[in-house]
Structure 1
């Protein structure tokens, strides 16, 4: 992976840690980098929908 990719992933991990602290027991820690605001895995259909919307906007 490129250095910039590693930096972005590390910064996302920090954001997840802050969300985990702010939500307390509601946050489900699955040790994911790409997850919902509650720590749960992303739904592939939602990711695809968001990605397709970005493609249309581009």
Structure 2
């Protein structure tokens, strides 16, 4: 869920920067955010973070 929240935030940032401010450069930077974070959550520190929060999110 955490990676998905990051992706949703990045999409809203892209919409804001490109649609509201008209800044293509900032929209491009906002695009890199979900790409880089998706990769980060798949390795090293990102995996360790997900492993630490998983017990709190999987409670029934």
TM range (shorter): 0.3 to 0.5
TM-score between the two structures when normalised by the length of structure 2: 0.35
- Structure index of larger Rg: 2
* More helix, by proportion: 2
Compare relative contact order (CA 8 Å, sep 6+) and give the higher one, 1 or 2: 2
